[in-house]
Amino acid sequence: MTQTMIPTRVLPIPKHSSSDLQWLAPSPLWRGPVGPAASGIAQPWIAEFASDDFVTDFTRLLAGGHADDLEQTAPSGVAAGTSTATGPFRLYQPLSMRYYLVTATLACRRPGIPDHLVSAREGDRAFFVLRQLAPDGTERARVGRQWVPVAGAALADGEEEHPLHTAPVTGFGTPGSTAARLGLPAGREAARRVYFGYIPVAQRQSVEPVLADPAAALAALRQPLGLGPLDDPAVDTLVDRVVVPWTQLRKPGTTGLNVGYASLFVLLDLMAWLRQEQKAVYQRIVFGTALPGGSAAEALYDGLEAVELLVDGTETSLTDALRSLVDPRDYLPLTEGDDSPGSPPSTYDLRSDPSPPLPAAWLAGHQTSGSLTQLAAAAVEGNKRTLPPELQGMIREHGPGRTPNLDGTAASVPRYVIRLVWVSPPCRPVLSEPTRAFELARAMDADAPARPILLQLPDINNLRQFNRGVAIEMPPSLRKVLTQVTPKILKEEGLEQALEVQLGKICSLSLQIIFLVAFIVMFIFLILLNIVFWWLPFLKICFPIPMVASTTKGPRP
């Protein structure tokens, strides 16, 4: 008998509009009354997990028939001085073995509150956004690397998005309960689905606002805190890279130094400092441009010009020696490890005294009039301070710890909320209600839980059995320096003369013995510094462990 196939037509499912959808609390929390007046029904949930396998724990919780236990995953930490029930959460870093997921249900606005799943084919997308709370309670969206004001229920152009995923929920509701009426009867697998996303607490450093002008903040503290010119970072750099090495170079009795090499880099560092911190003085040295009469910059230049040193055995002014390092060829890239310019043709000697000798005050401290440090400090005093390039973007508005402001008031800590978002052009985005506010804790937060870590020390009876599996390779320059380090240093006899051989070295070491040495050295310093910090009472707690005696048959000490 031949069956006649009746053609059928699949009707397209109408596309949802934004008014048809709403973000709600995750369906496992729907155990009480549901409706517009239900407390928290529209607020996404933040779940805390204390396991590195937190995603598996979360999905297993949803699929195990006890999804309503999700309400037991509320974060345990709250902001200092706030209520546990209503205060902002304090989210800890993964270093403390704490992980956080934000989760919610995307539902249709119709009887039964059915789930709505995102359809990539229809152009749907779901994600969540992190918002910072302003002091007045309004929200700021993260666009690029800035926080910009935004209306709470709106999505900012270019706002940073964080991915969402879906997970099935197995029913758990008893007959007649709210959960059972809303499609979650006990035993029904994949009865509903929820959306979840990982909250990147470890990105705290990148999302916290950058201090707009750290140099201006330092300048504002100079007078109330009594900071002197030596506290200026630019002067500190000059002292560390020029004044101290130059002083060491001229110490009587110092042997084993390559005077020409050391002198060259002291001069290079001085010229590099002038180019970065005292551009006018640098241009005066190189191009002969005039400086304002009677200015601190002119005094610094005059001080540099008055100093004599030996260049190729001939007395030369310091300014002429500095000029030779950039004209006709620029050798300053050598200060950054770039050896492309090659070696300067001249030999410099900052150790030997020319005629006239180096002024006695030249390498003295900043309190001494006419010293390099004093002249440099006076020259930078009137300059607009800038942050070193290496520190750009690293200084935050809110420093480490919960330190109070200068006036004694409590320091504000940035607080955040999360909103889940559904977008499907051309419909307007659907944003969830904000989550409960939270703070992002530092990696070494004092209140953070301790991650349990077990490190087993090797048995010293097995020293001969330890394999040497850690190889360390040394280039010739490092091998040369290490061979110069002998017990003579303890007798202040300087470094041993090294052989000029282009020979490196590779050593294979035992990881177990390295571990033992690190453990012993750590305790040496802990005990030594205990007189300063008194930290040993808070460092450790020990418990004896019964162990089986060693079964070795060999000789024992």
The 10s digit of each residue's pLDDT in 109-130 is 888 889 998 888 888 999 999 9
* Residue 159 token pair: 């706002």
Assign 340 a pLDDT band (cuts: 50, 70, 90): confident
3-state secondary structure 180-249: HHCCCECCCCCCEEEEEEECCHHHHHHHCCECCCHHHHHHHHHHHHCCCHHHCHHHHHHHHHHHHHHHHH
Other beta carbons within 10 Å of 455: 6
Q: Is the pLDDT of residue 9 over 50?
A: no
According to DSSP, the residues that pair with 142 across neighbouring strands are 147
Predicted local distance difference test score (pLDDT) of residue 190: 84
Residues 185-191: contacts with CB under 8 Å, at least 24 apart? 186/65, 187/65, 189/63
Check: CB of residue 537 under 8 Å from CB of residue 527: no
Any idea which residue has 């028939």 for tokens? 65
* Residue 333 token pair: 């890239």
Q: Is the pLDDT of residue 532 over 60?
A: yes
Q: How far apart are CA 267 and CA 306, in angstroms?
A: 15
* Mean pLDDT value across the chain: 85
Predicted local distance difference test score (pLDDT) of residue 517: 96
Check: CB of residue 1 under 8 Å from CB of residue 108: no
Q: Is the pLDDT of residue 138 over 70?
A: yes
Mean pLDDT of the region 386-409? 62
Q: How far apart are CA 256 and CA 32, in angstroms?
A: 82
Phi and psi, residue 103, nearest 5° = -140, 150
Predicted local distance difference test score (pLDDT) of residue 406: 44
pLDDT digits (tens, 9 = 90+) for 482-523: 887 777 766 666 666 666 777 888 999 999 999 999 999 999
Assign 240 a pLDDT band (cuts: 50, 70, 90): very high
Of the two residues 184 and 163, the one the predictor is more confident about is 163
Q: Is the pLDDT of residue 8 over 50?
A: no
Predicted local distance difference test score (pLDDT) of residue 484: 77
Q: Is the pLDDT of residue 411 over 60?
A: no
Q: How far apart are CA 207 and CA 404, in angstroms?
A: 21
Q: Is the pLDDT of residue 420 over 60?
A: yes
Q: How far apart are CA 106 and CA 103, in angstroms?
A: 10
Any idea which residue has 């020293």 for tokens? 463
Mean pLDDT of the region 418-423? 96
Distance of CA 34 to the CA centre of its chain: 44
Q: How many residues does the chain have?
A: 557
* SS3 at position 139: strand
H/E stretch holding 420: strand 416-423
Q: Is the pLDDT of residue 260 over 70?
A: yes
- Residue 375: C-alpha distances to residues 103, 300, 365, 380 (Å): 62, 5, 10, 9
pLDDT digits (tens, 9 = 90+) for 68-84: 889 899 999 888 777 77
